[in-house]
């Protein structure tokens, strides 16, 4: 006779893992420190306009918070990618991953729970960031843009993509340190590739046979690929180049791709976890 | 009940479990014995569905065990040799988390019930990682009992425990058997298995080399230890076996 | 290094279009305007749709020219030297509804009545083009002649003065009186300019997409001459401002978009010069003068562009200053002069222009002055009613020292520490404790 197994909806399992993840993140100081660091970066960039105003006595900035917000969100996104990587690697390192799978948890609910939990924390940090920016606006006198709310909300989409990347990269590692190093390396390549292109564009070209022309064209292709592949690029495309300046079509297209990519990465992470197994590292 | 037919698992060229077949009835304690590397833990992982076999089938309470079958895992409560606990959780937090995972209603009530069952009710607010090994083992048992599963899988449940801890865990195991649960214990502590188990199976190099009731094994070989040595032709000292 | 160059070169071949040899093709070479200046833009076939601004006069001509790929700027360059003769023919233009217009080439000049770079240019075409050019030549020559004559008189007078001074140095007995002072005025310079008359199809188009092609004298379509033409209109119009601070009047700030806020520290008066502006799609506007731009801009993006109309002293509008929703002042346009004054902090003062009767002076600029002591929260331009798009927020700010601005960055960490300490003090209270009584406890 086949016993009837009680059914736990998958969403409930995802929600439980997500809640656990969120509580663990919020109970530590890391997420608050990261938000403060993000604000320091934003303030440092805003100082460019503040100093210009002091010197010139007059300033008409298009959007003084565009670059500061872009950098702040980038810092936060990177922190959360590291959090996703560390959390998953730690689960495997401590053996708690296997214990979870004694219960009604499978690879996809585990991965979704991880991403949703950290995304919820990211969302909770948005009002904190907004409050800090409001205080900065009050002190500096430079008004916040009307698109700030929309920018923060829409940043959840590329944040989900960045989190998923952290998750994927950590599935293959055994240790927390390896996960952090791999994520750091990948982030360096993704962000550095775009930065290299921007730098090469500043180099003057004397003649058509200059090697700089070839380098520039190669980096242009690399940059073009990175704009579609790198989660950090999507943060810029959706927020700074999209919502902040009203380029809604570009933002919508990028958001659609980011959501699809997040889903694909979560599925990839789940499949990889299935292939690797959930045993504790070293067993 | 547990039904295993022709279960096989390979890791590269090494065959960890080779055509294992056995069945265990409900309300029975089954001792699954063998030295390290005999295939016990691999078998338990396949029973749980977190490792896919290369051949054969496992059924728990008549339901085939499949990887990714979340509902099927609700039929089993598993306790590993070491309790892997979250460093930021109290005993209450830990069980409440798993109670939520199992989709239980009245979680606090159920958690209190299982904690009382294992004698840890007064440790609700203590950090789980600060407990002694024996108490952690009991906490693991509490977790496995939360969702009232018909089957309990215990991997080395008394390994590393002091005599008091061993006795307490033994009492819990027997009580759960008496409540109608199937208790599948993987162990190499033969004396303990002899005290609690109804039937035993002995694994060696992936094969089930012996299966009988405990009473039957003792009748044939005088003690379970002698039975183990005889069927496995174990060449090491029994003390070494106990220490592994 | 050599190996790297080889690898990069191979990679570049994959990344960029194959470097083509010169290809002879029909290249359109329209003279288009952005509302301020006219520029000739080459449109080889690879440049895509011809882009023009709706309602402006555009001169379209086509040439048979050599086109080649230029890797440095990643564009197809057209050789428009003598080896690129103009293709004669009638320009046929078909709109989206299929209506066909034929435009014969006519003579035109670009006429700058106030000089190149000052004020908008006019297009004069048809028979009058030659007249305008002839008039420009005539007046130009006359002005040059007058200037030469004046220079000669001045030189002669100067020589006479020199001679008298030499004589006076000798202290002769009968020193004649010195040459009288010159009273003739310097002739006004002639700034106007007109280009040489040239033939082209002159047209002005409503917004929309068109197909153009050339038909030769026999009515046959010139091979390779069919192109798409896009005429774009402004999305909106508004009033922008050129804002000159009193202490840096040569370094104005620009506010064209109505969404912008003008920030000031209030340390000097502000002089505002209103400028009519229009909003255009950023991609279309960029393509106007750079059809081969590699930038792909979002269609929602727009750019605000001045319309090149100088309000000057004829402005009849007033700048209304607001404090919240209350108007506090209405400022007219006035002329101002920048007067160099030694001993003053900036070395100059800006004064309202009030010339003595008969003086030939002109103001340095016209503007509406917001005095330093006045601190409105917003401004707008009114002429009977508020002009659409003329409102601007005006914020007087006094930012604190740089290090103080980092204080808000501490808010998140303070929040985290408060929550962390609270948890340590109250304990893990977020989950319920054990129920009071339990049945069946061990």
* B61/A contact by beta carbon, under 8 A: yes
For residues C155-164, give the mean pLDDT.
93
Q: Cβ distance C228 to C49 under 8 Å?
A: yes
d(CA B99, CA B108): 9
Chain C: touching chains (3 or more CB pairs < 8 Å): A, B
For residues A160-174, give the mean pLDDT.
90
For residues C82-91, give the mean pLDDT.
85
**3-state SS assignment for residue C239:** strand
Distances (CA, A) of B158 to B138, B169, C42: 10, 7, 87
Enumerate the residues of chain C whose CB falls inside 8 A of the CB of residue A42. Answer: 409
Mark yes or no for CB contact B121/C434 under 8 Å. yes
Supply the pLDDT for residue C437.
Answer: 44
Q: What is the pLDDT of residues C44-83, one digit of tens each?
A: 999 999 999 998 999 999 999 999 988 878 889 988 776 7
Average pLDDT in chain B: 88
Residue of C nearest to A26 (CA): C416
Identify the CA nearest to C130 among candidates C192, C197, C82: C197
Is the model more confident about C434 or about C260?
C260
Identify the CA nearest to A71 among candidates A40, A104, A114: A40
Residues in CB range of B228: below 8 A, 6 or more apart: B33, B190, B202, B234, B238, B241
Least confident segment among A128-137, A204-213, B16-25: A204-213
d(CA A102, CA C102): 81
- State residue C342 phi and psi, 5-degree precision: -65, 150
For residues C113-126, give the mean pLDDT.
84
Average pLDDT in chain C: 86
Enumerate the residues of chain B whose CB falls inside 8 A of the CB of residue C427. Answer: 125
Supply the pLDDT for residue C293.
Answer: 83
Enumerate the residues of chain A whose CB falls inside 8 A of the CB of residue B154. Answer: none
Mark yes or no for CB contact A99/B84 under 8 Å. yes
Count of C-beta atoms within a 10 Å radius of residue C320: 20
Count of C-beta atoms within a 10 Å radius of residue A283: 10
Q: Strand C122-125 relative to strand C106-112: parallel, antiparallel, unpaired?
A: antiparallel
pLDDT at B129 over 80: yes
The ipTM, to two decimals, is 0.88
Chain B: touching chains (3 or more CB pairs < 8 Å): A, C
Enumerate the residues of chain A whose CB falls inside 8 A of the CB of residue B87. Answer: 94
Mark yes or no for CB contact A106/B68 under 8 Å. yes
Q: Indicate the helix (H) or strand (E) that contains C335.
A: strand C334-340
Residue of C nearest to A35 (CA): C412
Q: How confident is the model at residue A1 (pLDDT cuts 50, 70, 90)?
A: very low
SS3 sequence, C367-423? EEEECCCCCCCEEEEEECEECCCCCEEEEECCCCCHHHHHHHHHHHHHHHHHHHHHH
For residues C306-318, give the mean pLDDT.
69
Distances (CA, A) of A183 to A82, A157, A179, A204: 7, 19, 6, 34
Give, to the nearest 10 degrees, the angle between helix B107-117 and helix B133-145. Answer: 130
**pTM for the structure as a whole:** 0.82
A277: left (phi over 0), alpha (psi -120 to 50) or beta: left
d(CA C356, CA C184): 20
Residues in CB range of B19: below 8 A, 6 or more apart: B6, B7, B8, B55, B56, B207
Residue of C nearest to B109 (CA): C435
d(CA C116, CA C194): 9
Count of C-beta atoms within a 10 Å radius of residue C323: 13
Q: Cβ distance A136 to A42 under 8 Å?
A: yes
d(CA B105, CA C433): 16
Our CA-based measurement puts residue C441 at a distance from the nearest CA of chain B, in whole angstroms, of: 5
Q: Indicate the helix (H) or strand (E) that contains C289.
A: helix C282-289
DSSP-derived letter for residue C313 is: G
Mark yes or no for CB contact B74/A13 under 8 Å. no
The beta strand positions in chain A, using DSSP E, are 58-59
Burial grade of A167 (CB within 10 A; 0-12, 13-18, 19 or more): buried
Supply the pLDDT for residue B151.
Answer: 94
Mark yes or no for CB contact B102/A280 under 8 Å. no
d(CA A151, CA A235): 10
d(CA A186, CA A193): 11
Residues in CB range of A192: below 8 A, 6 or more apart: none
Supply the pLDDT for residue C251.
Answer: 86
Q: Cβ distance C55 to C204 under 8 Å?
A: yes
SS3 sequence, A93-149? HHCHHHHHCCCCCCHHHHHHHHHHHHHHHHHHHHHHHHHHHHHHHHHHCCCCCCCHH
Chain C stretch 375-394, residues whose beta carbon is closer than 8 A to a beta carbon of chain A: 393
Q: Which residue reads 């040459």 in tokens? A: C179
**3-state SS assignment for residue C106:** strand
Supply the pLDDT for residue C433.
Answer: 54
Q: Indicate the helix (H) or strand (E) that contains C228.
A: strand C227-232
Average pLDDT in chain A: 90
- DSSP per-residue codes, C136-159: HHHHHHHHHHHHHHHHHHHHHHHH
Chain A: touching chains (3 or more CB pairs < 8 Å): B, C
Count of C-beta atoms within a 10 Å radius of residue C176: 9
* B93/C contact by beta carbon, under 8 A: yes
Q: Strand C385-386 relative to strand C318-323: parallel, antiparallel, unpaired?
A: unpaired
Mark yes or no for CB contact C410/A136 under 8 Å. no
Is the model more confident about C119 or about B232?
B232
Mark yes or no for CB contact A247/C71 under 8 Å. no
- State residue B26 phi and psi, 5-degree precision: -65, 145
Enumerate the residues of chain C whose CB falls inside 8 A of the CB of residue A35. Answer: 412-413
Q: How confident is the model at residue C442 (pLDDT cuts 50, 70, 90)?
A: very low
Please report the sign of the dihedral spanned by the C-alpha atoms of residue B142, residue B148, residue B153, residue B158. Answer: positive
Enumerate the residues of chain A whose CB falls inside 8 A of the CB of residue B88. Answer: 24, 27
Mark yes or no for CB contact A208/C262 under 8 Å. no
For residues C302-311, give the mean pLDDT.
78
Enumerate the residues of chain C whose CB falls inside 8 A of the CB of residue B118. Answer: 442
d(CA A159, CA A234): 9
d(CA C3, CA C1): 5
d(CA A160, CA A182): 19
d(CA B48, CA A277): 13
Mark yes or no for CB contact B125/C428 under 8 Å. yes
List the end-to-end C-alpha distance of chain C, in Å, as a whole number.
Answer: 80
Chain A stretch 62-81, residues whose beta carbon is closer than 8 A to a beta carbon of chain C: 62
Burial grade of C218 (CB within 10 A; 0-12, 13-18, 19 or more): exposed
Q: Cβ distance B227 to B221 under 8 Å?
A: yes
Q: How confident is the model at residue C8 (pLDDT cuts 50, 70, 90)?
A: low
Our CA-based measurement puts residue A162 at a distance from the nearest CA of chain C, in whole angstroms, of: 22
For residues C417-426, give the mean pLDDT.
87
Chain A stretch 153-182, residues whose beta carbon is closer than 8 A to a beta carbon of chain C: none
Mark yes or no for CB contact B113/C440 under 8 Å. yes
Q: Strand B182-187 relative to strand B29-34: parallel, antiparallel, unpaired?
A: parallel
Q: How confident is the model at residue C125 (pLDDT cuts 50, 70, 90)?
A: very high
Our CA-based measurement puts residue A85 at a distance from the nearest CA of chain B, in whole angstroms, of: 17
Mark yes or no for CB contact A60/C243 under 8 Å. yes
Supply the pLDDT for residue C439.
Answer: 39
Identify the CA nearest to B22 among candidates B63, B49, B56: B56
DSSP-derived letter for residue C221 is: B
Q: Strand C75-79 relative to strand C62-70: parallel, antiparallel, unpaired?
A: antiparallel
Our CA-based measurement puts residue C411 at a distance from the nearest CA of chain B, in whole angstroms, of: 25
- DSSP per-residue codes, C61-84: -EEEEEEEEETTTTEEEEE-STTS
- DSSP per-residue codes, chain B: -EEEEEEEEEETTEEEEEEEEEEE-TT-EEEEEE-TTSSHHHHHHHHHTSS--SEEEEEETTEEP-TT-HHHHTTEEEE-SS----TT-BHHHHHHHHHHHTT-SSHHHHHHHHHHHTT-GGGTTSBGGGS-HHHHHHHHHHHHHTT--SEEEEESTTTT--HHHHHHHHHHHHHHHHTT-EEEEEES-HHHHHHH-SEEEEEETTEEEEEEEHHHHHHHHSSHHHHHHHHHT--S-HHHHHH-
Mark yes or no for CB contact C434/B108 under 8 Å. yes
- State residue C99 phi and psi, 5-degree precision: -70, 135
d(CA A239, CA A69): 9
Q: What is the pLDDT of residues C315-333, one digit of tens each?
A: 678 889 999 889 899 998 8
List the end-to-end C-alpha distance of chain B, in Å, as a whole number.
Answer: 30
Q: Cβ distance C335 to C366 under 8 Å?
A: yes
Mark yes or no for CB contact B70/A105 under 8 Å. yes
pLDDT at B92 over 60: yes
Distances (CA, A) of A212 to A220, B140, B239: 12, 64, 74
């Amino acid at each position: 006779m086949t016993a009837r197994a009680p059914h736990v909806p998958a969403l409930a399992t995802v929600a439980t893992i997500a809640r656990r993840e969120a509580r663990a993140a919020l109970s530590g100081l890391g997420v608050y420190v990261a938000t403060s660091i993000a604000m320091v970066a934003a303030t440092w960039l805003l100082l460019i306009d503040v100093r210009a105003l002091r010197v010139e006595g007059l300033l008409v900035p298009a959007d003084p918070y565009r670059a500061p917000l872009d950098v702040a969100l980038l810092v936060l996104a990177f922190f959360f990618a590291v959090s996703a990587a560390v959390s998953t690697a730690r689960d495997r390192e401590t053996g708690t991953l296997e214990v979870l799978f004694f219960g009604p948890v499978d690879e996809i609910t585990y991965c979704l729970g991880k991403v949703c939990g950290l995304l919820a924390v990211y969302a909770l940090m948005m009002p904190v960031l907004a409050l800090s920016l409001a205080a900065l606006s009050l002190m500096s006198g430079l008004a916040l843009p009307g698109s700030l709310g929309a920018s923060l909300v829409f940043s959840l989409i590329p944040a989900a993509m960045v989190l998923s990347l952290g998750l994927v990269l950590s599935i293959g590692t055994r240790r927390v340190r390896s996960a952090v190093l791999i994520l750091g390396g990948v982030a360096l390549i993704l962000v550095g590739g775009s930065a290299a292109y921007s730098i090469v564009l500043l180099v003057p070209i004397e003649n058509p046979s200059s090697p700089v022309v070839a380098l520039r064209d190669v980096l242009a292709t690399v940059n073009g690929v990175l704009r579609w592949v790198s989660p950090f690029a999507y943060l810029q495309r959706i927020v700074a180049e999209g919502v902040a300046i009203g380029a809604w079509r570009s933002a919508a297209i990028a958001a659609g791709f980011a959501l699809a990519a997040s889903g694909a990465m979560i599925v990839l992470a789940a499949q990889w976890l299935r292939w690797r197994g959930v045993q504790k590292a070293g067993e | 009940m547990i039904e295993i037919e022709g279960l096989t698992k390979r890791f590269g060229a090494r065959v960890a479990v080779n055509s294992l077949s056995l069945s265990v009835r409900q309300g029975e304690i089954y001792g699954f014995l063998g030295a390290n590397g005999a295939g016990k833990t691999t078998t338990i992982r396949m029973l749980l569905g977190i490792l896919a076999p290369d051949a054969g089938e496992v059924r728990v309470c008549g339901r085939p065990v499949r990887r990714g079958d979340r509902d099927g895992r609700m039929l089993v409560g598993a306790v590993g040799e070491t309790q892997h606990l979250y460093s930021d959780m109290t005993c209450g937090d830990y069980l409440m988390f798993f109670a939520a995972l199992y989709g239980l209603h009245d979680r606090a009530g159920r958690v209190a019930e299982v904690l009382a069952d294992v004698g840890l009710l007064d440790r609700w607010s203590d950090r789980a990682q600060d407990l002694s090994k024996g108490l952690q083992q009991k906490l693991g048992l509490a977790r496995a009992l939360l969702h009232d599963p018909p089957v309990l899988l215990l991997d080395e449940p008394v390994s590393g425990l002091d005599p008091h801890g061993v006795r307490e865990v033994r009492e819990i195991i027997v009580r759960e058997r008496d409540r109608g649960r199937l208790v599948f214990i993987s162990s190499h502590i033969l004396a303990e298995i002899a005290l609690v188990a109804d039937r035993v199976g002995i694994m060696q190099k992936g094969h089930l080399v012996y299966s009988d009731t405990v009473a039957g094994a003792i009748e044939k070989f005088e003690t379970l230890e002698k039975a183990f040595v005889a069927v496995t032709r174990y060449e090491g000292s029994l003390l070494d076996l106990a220490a592994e | 290094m050599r190996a790297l160059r080889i690898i990069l070169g191979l990679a570049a071949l994959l990344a960029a279009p194959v470097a083509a040899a010169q290809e002879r093709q029909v290249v359109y070479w329209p003279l288009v305007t952005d509302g301020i200046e006219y520029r000739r833009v080459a449109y080889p076939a690879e440049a895509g749709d011809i882009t023009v601004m709706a309602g402006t006069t555009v001169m379209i001509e086509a040439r048979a020219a050599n086109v080649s790929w230029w890797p440095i700027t990643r564009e197809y360059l057209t050789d428009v030297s003598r080896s690129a003769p103009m293709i004669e023919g009638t320009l046929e233009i078909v709109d989206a509804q299929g209506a066909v217009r034929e435009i014969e080439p006519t003579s035109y000049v670009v006429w700058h009545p106030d000089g190149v770079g000052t004020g908008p240019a006019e297009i004069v075409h048809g028979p009058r083009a030659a007249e305008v050019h002839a008039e420009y030549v005539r007046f130009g020559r006359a002005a040059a002649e007058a200037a030469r004559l004046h220079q000669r008189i001045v030189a002669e007078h100067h020589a006479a003065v020199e001679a008298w001074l030499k004589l006076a140095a000798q202290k002769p007995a009968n020193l004649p009186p010195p040459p009288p002072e010159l009273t003739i005025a310097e002739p006004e310079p002639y700034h106007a300019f007109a280009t040489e008359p040239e033939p082209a199809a002159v047209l002005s188009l409503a917004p929309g997409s068109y197909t153009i092609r050339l038909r030769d004298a026999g009515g046959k379509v010139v091979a390779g001459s069919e192109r798409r033409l896009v005429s774009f209109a402004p999305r909106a119009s508004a009033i922008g401002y050129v804002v000159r601070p009193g202490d840096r009047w040569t370094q104005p700030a620009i506010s064209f978009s109505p969404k912008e806020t003008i920030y000031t520290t209030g340390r000097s008066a502000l002089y505002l010069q209103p400028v009519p502006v229009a909003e255009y799609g950023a991609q279309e506007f960029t393509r106007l003068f750079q059809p081969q731009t590699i930038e792909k801009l979002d269609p929602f993006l727009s750019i605000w562009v001045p319309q090149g109309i100088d309000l000057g002293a004829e402005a009849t509008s007033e700048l209304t200053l607001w404090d919240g929703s209350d108007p506090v002042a209405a400022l007219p346009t006035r002329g101002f002069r920048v007067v160099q004054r030694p001993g003053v902090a900036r070395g100059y003062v800006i004064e309202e222009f009030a010339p003595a009767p008969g003086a030939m002076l002109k103001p340095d600029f016209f503007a509406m002055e917001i005095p330093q002591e006045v601190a409105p929260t917003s401004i707008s331009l009114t002429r009977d009613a508020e002009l659409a798009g003329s409102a601007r927020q005006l914020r007087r700010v006094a930012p604190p020292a740089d290090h103080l601005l980092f204080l808000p960055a501490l808010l998140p960490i303070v929040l985290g520490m408060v929550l962390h300490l609270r948890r340590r003090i109250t304990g893990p209270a977020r989950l319920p404790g054990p129920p009071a009584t339990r049945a069946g406890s061990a």
